[in-house]
Structure 1
Amino acid sequence: MLNLDKTDELETPSTSDVPPPASEEYVRLLGEQSRAPAAKLERPYSAPLAAFDMELVQRIGLKGKLKAGNSVWEEEDESELECTASEATSRFMDVERDGDAGKSKVSSSESLSLHEKRARFAESSSSTLQLPEAAGQLPNGKCCEHKNKGLNHTAPLMPMTEPTELPDSYDERECSCPREFYQRPELNTSLFFDDCTRSIDFVLAYKINANELLESDNAEKRRVFQENLIHQGLEVELSKKEQIYFLKIHAPLEVLRRYAEILKLRMPMKESFCHMRVHERSRRLHNAAQYLSKKIPGLSVVNRSTKSVYSSLKGIFQFFLRNVYIDENYFPKRAHRFTAIYSRDKEYLFDIRQDCFFTTAVRSRIVEFILDRQRFPAKRHSDMAFGIERLISEGAYAAAYPLHDGEITEVGTTRELLYSNWASVRKWYRYQPLDDVKEYFGVKIGLYFAWLGYYTYMLLLASIVGVACFIYSWVTLKNYVPVQDICLRPNTNITMCPLCDWCEFWNLRETCIYAKITYLIDNPSTIFFAVFMSFWAALFLELWKRYSAEITHRWDLTGFDLHEEHPRPQYLARLEHIEPTRTDYVTNMKEPTVPFWRMKLPATVFSFSVVVLLIALAFVALIAVVVHRMSVLAALKVDGSNMTTSKAMILATASAAFVNLCFLYILNYLYNHLAEYLTEMEMWRTQTQFDDSLTLKIYLLQFVNYYASIFYIAFFKGKFVGRPGEYNEVFHYRQEECSSGGCLTELCIQLAIIMIGKQAFNTILEVYLPMFWRRVLAIQVGLSRLFGNAAKADKSKDERWMRDFKLLDWGARSLFPEYLEMVLQYGFVTIFVAAFPLAPLFALLNNILEMRLDAKKLLTHHKRPVSQRVRDIGVWYRILDCIGKLSVITNGFIIAFTSDLIPRLVYRYRHNGSLVGYLDSTLSEFLIVDSPKLHSLAGDNTNITTCRYADFREPPSSTEKYHLTRDFYIILACRLAFIVVFENFVALVMIFVRWCIPDMSVELRDQIKREVYITNEIIIEQEAKRARFARIRRSQSMAHNHSQQDLDAASVDEPNTKFIKIEKLLNANLSQIEMDSVIHGENTNTGLSGASC
């Protein structure tokens, strides 16, 4: 609920919550405005703008003459009733009650007096959520009333400033719709009311329910709700098409001004106030360099040569960057404008008649704010029966949405411009026009694309380093000694122990391909890339905070705070049978409270239990994948298959990864629905609380679902298998083993298939799934014309509000899956990047396509979202920060325990930097006769007496055979020491990076301070001038009363002479005492007297 400091900003409260039904005469009276021309516009108020020059004085002096003439703001006679904003909306009542015949009814109450109509408005109840204090009472205890033609009833409003007349060239459409609507090559009439003057700022759509009892209840709710919209000053118009009723809503200028002040919107100030001297810090360095070049001999020559080279390089770079930056032919660069919180008593700061002062996004946001606060009748009396969202959830309305500004092919519209130059995949190399995206879709969506674009931009550096590391490993592969020992060493016949209970003995030479792939991942560049990516993750978040501060300032979000939220409609519906027992501290309204023992505690325990069960289900799927991998490997190696062990292991790993990917999508579908159901059961009061709880559940479940198999391969597979003859069995089955080179290759294959497969599948879904749901929606609402070839010609004749109704809704959580997909990808890029150096490259390629597909989906398949203001990306930043810190730990453990980097370093240190003989040192020997199972597998093959396995154990000839060797403990100590050094080093560097990079640049901080200072100075200066002008007028009035008798005999100066003297007074900077001396007598300093002025 909105918390306001001023009670006079809201409508006058009444004793009842739901307005009574309007009389029949009143309904017929309102039906006439929809056929009448546009209502006379209410005058916008503004104070004097600049210094009191003669032009301003003359304009003030001629104000009476303008009012005496045919001015557009001429006061109308009360005997003649003009079309009010209320009367424009009654046709929907006649149509809803009498059908189309109601449109032709002639009102018999046109002759009602203005007094009678105001009396009927006074009898109606309040339509707006009220604060507990008495409305109309100002903070100083005085009451004020203001005549508002659009509302046609007395309502307490904010105090107004001095009116200023508009020029004769004033076009009333400038304040009735955004200028972008009517300044087009061809006017789109479907964006306006029938008068083609007032723009459609919002649309409510509904269908008549076949159930008469239910429809009667819905009709009453709509009638009262729509009457309340009229009471707020909104103008509405009803249209019907294909059994669907569309209520078009227009917000007049006065409503926009009033609610812009209530919402404390930051609006651009006049251009004359926005000239700020920019202090360039780089200029100081330039001046210092020029000074040194003059003092040091020969440095000026070097300086000129450097300038020449710099100019040449700059020209080359600009030639390429011109095709990368935003095309200013389509998206002109916006000049920086000061903004201030809009206030009608300081309207001299703003030009409300400037081009798009109230943009379409601002207009729709104001209308939605009004829709969210209007009441409707409920079955049982409830203070919570309000808001369009609850009406939609109860079936009274089918949809509520603002309009797109045209088709994607309509030249001259913002939608077409964004579709052609932003959503096009062919423009993938260009920067995003974020300012235009924000103006069209609002801050929330603009901030998502800003974050996605910046994340993609930062991936470019990570991709370059990852590709460089991969190229290095490819180049040095031929010189890697262990690979040469496996693939090229002659007379190498190393028999390896079976990998499973049913597998046969195999030769180490068969893993030649597998060993080469392992080295491409596990090489000296791995540790460098892991450390680099840890720094990259910290740098990305710190630079994003810095970039986000710039966006926050540029989009006027500095100091922005959310309003008090309404309770969710679903929350109120579930507590409908509970009496209100809680009084909200902010709104002082009674609300139902969730019973803790009867509802809250059981729901929480049940939700926690189901989440634990779903996590266990993910581990069950992991066990199934492990069994599948072992079965495939056994099937490929049993019965004397000619397939080599290397190919069999790769095929088994890849097939298991694909099966795991299928399990992921099945479980994801289950997780999403169950998480939403569980969160609904927990009965969170506000939408923010609901979204935060849902985000935590889904991300936790998705984290386990996507990363469980990867964590298993990285940290558990092959680590606790035992040795031949004494294997550690689980349920009487052997555990999986890794190859002689470790499990890093299997980890890479698993990671690549899941990451790339997920991205490819999601891309296909984003392209075709919206098209599918649009067709389903068209079938549900009965729009069969959408599919007929014969009716394609008629499809183009649909009005804008009809075509947008066919689009998919953009819900409050529509950005959630987009953020979730990118955050999961960020986990793949950072947490396990040591196992897959090319992960940033594939993420970069996916995001380039993802960015354009998301934009295209938003422009073509969805209704236009209502503009929403947010401060940042919310809880997702905290999740990204946690992932970045987790990545340091996981990459350190992957390098230390999963890869063979530490054993190789230890061997190099002990053997003078050589890896000759390293392969033999990692393989232990086992005597086959010591294990009955292995002896039976050998059969009659007498050539196999021993086999080798990857471990550090004593040979059979030793007195402590098969025990862990001394080298094992040395390597283990080195691994643990590496983790300690790696974690602390990276952590310290990350702390240093965060300390070196402040969240906001010094230049931006100074600029914000300077803008605040200049804005305050402008306000102080203008207020001082207004006060001085008011003092002069008051003094003039006093002088006029004292010298009334002398004025008849005295000669009257010409008006210009008098105003020149007033101007001289204003510029004299007189004190109050000197001013009184001038007014009441003659002052020797000025030579002016009150009588002469």
Structure 2
Amino acid sequence: MNLGVELEAAQSVVDEKLVYVKVHVPFEVLCTYAEVLHIKLPIQPNDLAQQSSTYNCFTRHFYPSEDVIAKEPDFFTANIFLANICSPGNVLLICRGLQAYYILSRAPYDVKGSMKKFGISKLLDGGVYKAAYPLHDSRFNVKSKEPGCPNERFLLYNEWAHPKSFYKMQPLDLIRKYFGEKIGIYFAWLGFYTVMLTLAAAVGLGCFIYGYTTRESSTWSKEVCDPQIGGEIIMCPQCDKICPYWRLNTTCESSKRLCVFDNYGTLVFAIFMSVWVTLFLEFWKRYQAELEHDWDTVEFLQQEEQPRPEYEAKCIYERVNPVTQKEKVPHTACGKCMRVSCGISTVLFWVLLIIASVVGVIVYRLAMFITFSAKLRSDLKYSKELEPFKEYVTPQMATSITSSIISFIIIMILNNVYEKVAIWITDFELPRTKTEYENSLTLKMFLFQFVNYYSSCFYIAFFKGKVVGYPGKPVYWFGAFRNEECDPGGCLTELTTQLSIIMTGKAVWNNIQEVLLPWVKNLIFRHCTQVGSEKVIPRWEQDYQLQPIGKLGLFYEYLEMVIQFGFVTLFVASFPLAPLLALFNNLCEIRVDAWKFTTQSRRVVPEKAQDIGAWQPILQGVAILAVATNAAIIAFTSDMIPRLVYYWAFSVSPYSDGSEHTMTGFINSSLSIFYIDHFNNESRPTVDTPYWFNNITTCRYRDFRNPPGHPNQYEYSIHYWHVIAAKLAFMIVVEHIVYFTKFILSYMIPDVPEALKEQIKRERYLTQVILHETNIKHFKELMKPVYYGNMVLPWITSLYHVLTHMIM
């Protein structure tokens, strides 16, 4: 090839129809493309005092031994023309996979005609080549016998991917060296997120234990379970005609479960998580800045990124480069507006499709609640002896569990379909660079999955049971289905059930996809292509039998973790165990991803990356939204604010002088009264009424309304307006306090540590010194007398040569 690379063909040992083409890039070519790709090389060891960060001080005892994985030396680095590259055994060879792929992605293969045909990607899509990949070091389970040349793949498997190393910190420098900066920064972020989750999980577990131990002692739970209080309160039917009256103490167990999550500890935990997420993002910026400097990606985004081969191949228009004003570069002209408009329209259509599916699940809930109510009540035959069993399997619980499972199935189906649509839309938009491509796809996928995963949770938290009317005048969906009501304890328990099912189901499904499917595919492939033991399968054929990572690489890994981050932060007020579940999942996720990359997948092409890309602003947006959602959950979904209003404004202990408050009587005050004679014909119960309900004249329902006989009967009472005002005041005060705290923390914690700033300044100073000395050396050489015949050229000619050389 005229690009400087060397090609070698080899016949396949397993399949005679396959031919492997091995690509070798000489050292001189590596040096040439190192300047094109802005690869930096060491110029001198770091002579500043090393100061460990707080994160490293906390985790240094869990790193693999330096006797096994040697610590990478710390150097100041600069661009290649400033560095000493006389020896091919330097860090330049680490990037040879990136440089080889860059050459192949732009290598022309058809010079005939006016159409541009180049790039290994087009040949792969056309089936000319089946795969293109860099080679692994060796077998992952074989230790190198050469002490000076360790098997890095074996080290990564043994000290990182193996389950026995689950407690160890990740060898990030070795990961970066073997897989590249992009994969290294992903595992660095995932590890940092997991370490920070330990604190959130510990506090959440403490809140859960507090709620579990106090569930029996809460006053409102005791009143619900008390036969003299909850047993004497007759509740109104929760659906039309087929639902009967029921006693409040049948919800005794659900009331106790509610107290586990709906307590004052939950309020403290929600505020703590709002502060925690700010600390997580700010400390990650600092840690990321250290990685940027150590991995020489500080100026990565300032350098001009090369266009995607697909962009160069499909763009038929050209314009002069506005930076150099010399060469011409391809561009998409005015067609980009049309492409982006089509993409936005398609995304909005799919978002509306998700909303339609959520409405369908809501209709299912309304219909099945009536069915479960009739079925469960008829099975128990309204027997007073069997009535206590109703508290274990209620219509609300059955409807909640089945609808959550159906929601999860719909979510996974829509995800798989939309994934292909989002990729097609992004390809159609034709982004110029790979970063633009990934950012565009990231925004589309996250917007879709945000609506897909969280819409059902938002419905339960903020819409269910909020507009239901009252027994004599209920509110209907589409004029046919009566709107859902919450349990007497509220909808918080159902929101907890929804979150736990989706989080657990998502984690199990993802692990099946990441572990079981690649392992089974590789097993089948090896079984179908096995050869006799006398034949030795070379390294390139062994790697071909592994699974490809795919074009999107880490996109799905980030997406999975960011969706989990949303569950941990957005709805944590209803489920304090969410950080603990996320912690267990991430401990497995790190090792599963490491095992997949090291043993089951082909080695990926190394890529440079400065940060986590478009995911950083998405995380910040989720963190801001989490403050509002958690405050709204505590105010409008839980019963905490009504309890506080009752305690401070409406309750007085009968055994005091009027200044002592108590929670006694809260359940009675939170239930309004309804005369059963005021039922209309459409909602009046028609089922057989048990004998102990024959003499009732009133029933109770969950609301704050005036009783029958009041001049404004069934209208909202003064108690209701007190509660609404307290809820709004709580949201405003809590949001402002938390947002102000987040602002102060963001201001006080600098994004770049002071010690790192000094290292960057020192590195830039050394670069300038070397550049200055180099120019002085060239100046002295060019100032030597230059003879033309018998005459010495004037000194101005030499100075002209110096200036020309420096400019070029």
Q: State the TM-score bracket (shorter-chain normalisation).
A: 0.7 to 0.9
Q: Is 1:503 equivalent to 2:243 in the alignment?
A: yes
Deviation of 1:387 after TM superposition, in Å, equals 1.9
Moved more, 865-874 or 925-934: 925-934
Letter in 1 for 2:207: C
Deviation of 1:258 after TM superposition, in Å, equals 2.0
Q: Is 1:750 equivalent to 2:512 in the alignment?
A: no
CA distance in 2, matches of 1:278, 1:593: 50
Letter in 2 for 1:659: I
Q: Is 1:730 equivalent to 2:504 in the alignment?
A: no
Of 611, 630, 647, the residue aligned with 2:393 is: 647
Distance 1:707 1:370, change over 3 A: same
Deviation of 1:879 after TM superposition, in Å, equals 0.7
Matching residue of 2:447: 700
Give a deviation string over 1:685-732, Cα, whole Å, max 9, x none. Answer: 443333322222221111111111100000000000000110011122
Q: Is 1:537 equivalent to 2:537 in the alignment?
A: no
What pairs with 1:448-467 in structure 2 (closer than 5 Å)?
A: 448-467=186-205
Distance 1:632 1:645, change over 3 A: farther
Distance 1:598 1:428, change over 3 A: closer
Matching residue of 1:660: 407
CA distance in 2, matches of 1:708, 1:321: 38
Letter in 1 for 2:393: K
Matching residue of 1:402: 134
Matching residue of 2:219: 481
| Residue pair 1:237, 1:249 contacting (<8 A) in 2 also | yes
Matching residue of 2:18: 244
| Larger gyration radius, structure 1 or structure 2 | 1
| Residue pair 1:571, 1:684 contacting (<8 A) in 2 also | no
Letter in 2 for 1:278: A
Distance 1:453 1:378, change over 3 A: same
Letter in 2 for 1:626: R
Letter in 2 for 1:244: L
Deviation of 1:593 after TM superposition, in Å, equals 4.1
CA distance in 2, matches of 1:689, 1:1011: 30
Give a deviation string over 1:39-82, Cα, whole Å, max 9, x none. Answer: xxxxxxxxxxxxxxxxxxxxxxxxxxxxxxxxxxxxxxxxxxxx
CA distance in 2, matches of 1:1007, 1:410: 39
Matching residue of 2:27: 253
Distance 1:479 1:340, change over 3 A: same
Matching residue of 1:274: 45
Letter in 2 for 1:432: Q
- Percent sequence identity over matched residues? 39
| Residue pair 2:461, 2:637 contacting (<8 A) in 1 also | yes
The secondary structure found in structure 1 opposite 2:154 is: helix
Matching residue of 2:577: 838
Of 601, 613, 625, the residue aligned with 1:886 is: 625
CA distance in 2, matches of 1:639, 1:672: 45
Deviation of 1:259 after TM superposition, in Å, equals 1.9
Matching residue of 2:264: 524
| Residue pair 2:221, 2:252 contacting (<8 A) in 1 also | yes
CA distance in 2, matches of 1:355, 1:366: 16
Distance 1:640 1:803, change over 3 A: closer
Matching residue of 1:871: 610
Distance 1:581 1:338, change over 3 A: closer
What pairs with 1:629-640 in structure 2 (closer than 5 Å)?
A: 629-631=368-370, 633-640=372-379
Q: Is 1:368 equivalent to 2:120 in the alignment?
A: no
Distance 1:661 1:234, change over 3 A: same
| Residue pair 2:237, 2:685 contacting (<8 A) in 1 also | no
TM-score scaled by length of structure 2: 0.87
The secondary structure found in structure 2 opposite 1:268 is: strand
The secondary structure found in structure 1 opposite 2:452 is: helix
| Residue pair 1:618, 1:705 contacting (<8 A) in 2 also | no
Give the unaligned 5+ runs of structure 1. 1-229, 283-316, 1042-1071, 1073-1093
The secondary structure found in structure 2 opposite 1:338 is: strand
CA distance in 1, matches of 2:586, 2:674: 51
CA distance in 2, matches of 1:263, 1:963: 72
Moved more, 496-505 or 617-626: 617-626
| Residue pair 2:355, 2:455 contacting (<8 A) in 1 also | no
What pairs with 1:980-1019 in structure 2 (closer than 5 Å)?
A: 980-1019=732-771
| Residue pair 2:200, 2:579 contacting (<8 A) in 1 also | yes
CA distance in 1, matches of 2:616, 2:361: 29
Deviation of 1:478 after TM superposition, in Å, equals 2.7
Of 440, 445, 469, the residue aligned with 2:207 is: 469
Q: Is 1:235 equivalent to 2:6 in the alignment?
A: yes
Matching residue of 1:804: 543
CA distance in 1, matches of 2:340, 2:194: 43
CA distance in 2, matches of 1:275, 1:597: 47
Matching residue of 1:898: 637
Deviation of 1:785 after TM superposition, in Å, equals 4.4
Matching residue of 1:433: 171
Distance 1:614 1:279, change over 3 A: closer
Deviation of 1:1007 after TM superposition, in Å, equals 1.9
Deviation of 1:845 after TM superposition, in Å, equals 0.3
| Residue pair 2:318, 2:328 contacting (<8 A) in 1 also | no
Q: Is 1:329 equivalent to 2:67 in the alignment?
A: yes
CA distance in 2, matches of 1:378, 1:1022: 42
CA distance in 2, matches of 1:475, 1:546: 40
The secondary structure found in structure 1 opposite 2:41 is: strand
CA distance in 1, matches of 2:28, 2:773: 27
CA distance in 2, matches of 1:1017, 1:454: 37
What pairs with 1:678-827 in structure 2 (closer than 5 Å)?
A: 678-731=425-478, 732-774=480-522, 778=525, 785-786=528-529, 791=531, 793=533, 797-827=536-566
CA distance in 2, matches of 1:635, 1:467: 38
CA distance in 2, matches of 1:393, 1:281: 47
CA distance in 2, matches of 1:935, 1:676: 53
Deviation of 1:949 after TM superposition, in Å, equals 0.8
Give a deviation string over 1:418-473, Cα, whole Å, max 9, x none. Answer: 01110112211111000000000000000000000001011011001101111111
Deviation of 1:635 after TM superposition, in Å, equals 4.3
CA distance in 1, matches of 2:779, 2:313: 50
Of 357, 362, 372, the residue aligned with 2:91 is: 357
Distance 1:894 1:281, change over 3 A: closer
Letter in 1 for 2:107: Q
- Compare relative contact order (CA 8 Å, sep 6+) and give the higher one, 1 or 2: 2
CA distance in 2, matches of 1:616, 1:768: 32
| Residue pair 2:308, 2:434 contacting (<8 A) in 1 also | yes
CA distance in 2, matches of 1:991, 1:590: 43
Letter in 2 for 1:841: L
The secondary structure found in structure 1 opposite 2:132 is: strand
Distance 1:405 1:709, change over 3 A: same
The secondary structure found in structure 1 opposite 2:141 is: coil
TM-score scaled by length of structure 1: 0.65
CA distance in 2, matches of 1:970, 1:735: 25
Letter in 2 for 1:793: S
CA distance in 2, matches of 1:674, 1:714: 30
The secondary structure found in structure 1 opposite 2:169 is: coil
CA distance in 2, matches of 1:441, 1:707: 34
The secondary structure found in structure 2 opposite 1:331 is: coil
Distance 1:567 1:1027, change over 3 A: closer
The secondary structure found in structure 1 opposite 2:273 is: helix
What pairs with 1:1038-1057 in structure 2 (closer than 5 Å)?
A: none
The secondary structure found in structure 2 opposite 1:404 is: coil
CA distance in 2, matches of 1:733, 1:486: 29
Give the unaligned 5+ runs of structure 2. 145-150, 381-385, 652-659, 796-808
Q: Is 1:960 equivalent to 2:695 in the alignment?
A: no
| Residue pair 2:627, 2:735 contacting (<8 A) in 1 also | yes
Q: Is 1:615 equivalent to 2:363 in the alignment?
A: no
CA distance in 2, matches of 1:945, 1:518: 30
Matching residue of 2:798: none
The secondary structure found in structure 2 opposite 1:947 is: strand
Matching residue of 1:934: 684
CA distance in 1, matches of 2:414, 2:688: 43
Matching residue of 2:307: 566
Letter in 2 for 1:403: L
| Residue pair 1:364, 1:867 contacting (<8 A) in 2 also | yes
